[in-house]
Amino acid sequence: MEGDSSPTAAVAGAASVDSVSDDFKSLSMENQNQNGDAVSQRREKLKLEQLKWDHSFVRELPGDPITDIIPREVLHACYTKVSPSAEVDNPQLVAWSDSVAELLDLDPRELERPDIPQIFSGASPLVGAMPYAQCYGGHQFGVWAGQLGDGRAITLGEVLNSRSQRWELQLKGAGKTPYGRYADGLAVLRSSIREFLCSEAMHNLGIPTTRALCLVTTGKYVTRDMFYDGNMKDEHGAIVCRVAQSFLRFGSYQIHAARDDFDLVRTLADYCIRHHFPHLENLRKSDSLSFTSGDGDDSVVDLTSNKYAAWAVEVAERTASLVANWQGIGFTHGVLNTDNMSVLGLTIDYGPFSFLDAFDPNYTPNTTDLPDRRYRFANQPDIGSWNVAQFVITLSTAGLIKENEATYAVERYGMKFMDNYQALMTKKLGLPKYNKQLISELLKNMAVDKVDYTNFFRLLSNVKSDPTVPEDKLLIPLKAVLLDIGKERRDAWTSWVKSYIQELSTRNISDEERKASMNSVNPKYILRNYLCQSAIDAAELGEFEEVRRLLRVMERPYDEQPGMEKYARLPPAWAYRPGVCMLSCSS
């Protein structure tokens, strides 16, 4: 498990996604769960004390017999029981999500209670909770890092709602755990605001993600070196209550395989399948899940005969769909280590993330990543494949899947990614079918002229599918994003728009219908870094309304929202200063 090693040459070879590399290493998928989670009006609204806790993770998996928080190796265990320990002094509620409260059947009015800041800072115990920190490992920047784990995130437990959905509640920044590697277990307000807002923004964009119930300040200061340059600074402490159906990661399995604890890998896999992939428990031959592997020997992969293989393929496909979504929306995660990859295909662990402003395939929002730009925007599809390869290597090493099954899972990542990318890019441009040459030329032009990614696609829906439009009028719908370009570049764009209109004219729908369809996948509002920073600056002065206003805008990213147009503007000059356009992992 050290470094980039692989137990099989076949899997290592499949880890390279050259076929997934076109069009800036490729993109996207249809939006899922668009503003989903509709709540029945008849559902009972609960008080905090009435939440229905289950605690399957603690009940069904082996735990650490030691309960102290001294940093140490935790062996033969999936978690350590530990209570929140962050010091607080008059904590305050910054913001909350009504829609996440509804997921839990929690009455949103409960978040108005005066004791909420005490409860969600961990200072007052939440009735029914059974807190613990999870053990996991992972590859960081391609190198095996050994045990990592929840160094400052403490799960309170799992809540079952009236639809039998399982939701895990977790406090991030709540204090020390054995996995903290001598860190303080705390989080600062700037990173907590970013995580809270982006969790909800991504959900409303239709991208699978962990969610955020609420954000509180601790009233204490936390010392951080933002740029790792020796300049320490006291910052406001904060805690986010994160919510997900599970926080299991690729690294949750890697750590046990690295220790040759293969029985625990199987136990944890059985747990995940039982609770989160139950449709894989009783597959039948009639399900027709047999495929020919692409490794050259025409071997057949029968997913109905091995639930772990079927699971590996589904994890790979969910990951591919997720990364395709990121590429389509212009999102760069920034820290795609294997411990930051969810087995449920969720966006998880928001550190130095960013949505693209000026289109740059080589952009990375992570200052730590600057030397090699491993996690740059264009490289995310390949990194997703590499991470999936590490996951299936883990399952193969533990004896749960065969070599051809592992290879097939990685192959499926590449195929699923391209399918989803092509489908989404076709919708983003309103085309009748996928046109590789047209899209490749567009992305090349956008990169040359550093065109704003989000605003370009939103404006593109205003182009009319009329081949008779005079040449000198073709770029008028795009003039707000084609800034400061000379004659040569105007000619290049005019040529592209001509080709685009010609392609549109073969589609038998009205411009109005196409515009509505394109606007349903091309948002007007994204969580730009400078918008986050403005909200952070105000919050650090004790003014939280901008955080709440920004949350409301991001709840409807595809709508026009009259009066909120300023949130769709191009970044101002100050947005490109260090600490805004790029960040470190410090939080």
Q: What is the mean pLDDT of the chain?
A: 91
pLDDT for 496: 98
Alpha-carbon gap, residue 540 to 542, rounded angstroms: 5
Q: Mind listing the pLDDT tens digit for each residue in 569-585?
A: 988 888 777 677 777 66
What integer is the mean pLDDT of 523-532? 97
Token reading at 59: 């009940």
pLDDT score for 577 = 74
pTM confidence score: 0.91
Is it the case that residue 17 has pLDDT exceeding 80? no
What are the extents of the domains in the chain? Answer: 48-255, 261-339+376-427, 432-506
CA terminus-to-terminus distance, the chain: 28
pLDDT, tens only, 127-185: 999 999 999 999 999 999 999 999 999 999 999 999 999 999 999 999 999 999 888 99
The kind and range of the H/E element at 203 are helix 189-204
Q: How many residues appear in the chain? A: 587
Is residue 150 within 8 Å of 134, Cβ to Cβ? yes
Per the CB < 8 A criterion, the answer to whether 252 and 343 are in contact is yes
Residues with a known catalytic role: 339
- The better pLDDT of the pair 582, 44 is held by 44
Do the Cβ atoms of 472 and 497 come closer than 8 Å? no
Average pLDDT (27-50) is: 58
Residue 174 gets which letter from DSSP? Answer: B
- The answer to whether 250 touches 338, Cβ cutoff 8 Å, is yes
* Selected residue with higher pLDDT from 294 and 404: 404
Tell me the mean pLDDT in the region 444-466: 97
- What distances in angstroms separate CA 97 from CA 119, 189, 199, one per listed residue? 16, 17, 10
Where is average pLDDT lowest: 90-99, 361-370, 516-525, 553-562?
361-370
- Angle formed by the axes of helices 403-429 and 380-397, nearest 10°: 160
Reading the block at residue 56, the tokens are: 């399957």
Tens digits of residue pLDDT in 351-373: 999 999 999 999 999 988 888 99
What Å distances lie between residue 149 and 202, 246, 271, 570, 586, CA to CA? 24, 15, 18, 38, 17
d(Cα 172, Cα 169) in Å, to the nearest integer? 10
Alpha-carbon dihedral 442, 443, 445, 451, rounded to 10 degrees: 110
- Confidence at residue 291, expressed as pLDDT on a 0 to 100 scale: 65
92-200-21 Cα angle (round to 5): 140
User: What's the rounded Cα separation, in Å, for the pair 521 and 509?
Assistant: 17
- Cβ-defined contacts of 289-294 (< 8 Å, 24+): 291/408, 293/404, 293/407, 293/408, 293/411, 294/407, 294/408, 294/411
Tell me what pLDDT residue 573 has: 81
